[in-house]
Amino acid sequence: MWSWVAHRVTGVLIFFFLFVHVLDTALVRVSPEDYDKVVATYKTPIVALLEYGLVAAILFHALNGLRVIAVDFWSKGPRYQKQMFWTVMGVWVVLMAGAVYPVLGHAARVLFGS
């Protein structure tokens, strides 16, 4: 049940990110100076945390989507859906741990110095 809810929520969050991304990228044709200002705000530590959340949402949505495909198209999928869910969560945690430095490293250097 909760994986179903999380899958929908992450899908909506990813959609809104893509919408904002298209809008801010389109800004470069309207006003390059304003575009540069917007991009400068993306280099703040708070936005780095939001980016980490985006990585979390995309990874969960992708991994859970593979689980949903397996449940739907594999004859034994429904029987093993709980085990597959916990496998997805384990892989997700490992990948999120690996994403800490690449995504949040710059923010840590800004906040705490190099």
Q: Are 17 and 72 in contact (CB under 8 A)?
A: no
61 is in an annotated binding site: yes
Q: Which ranges of 31-76 does DSSP label H, i.e. alpha helix?
A: 32-41, 45-73
Q: Return the structure tokens found at 94.
A: 């490992």
Q: Are 46 and 53 in contact (CB under 8 A)?
A: no
Q: Which residues are annotated as a binding site for heme?
A: 61
Known binding residues are: 61
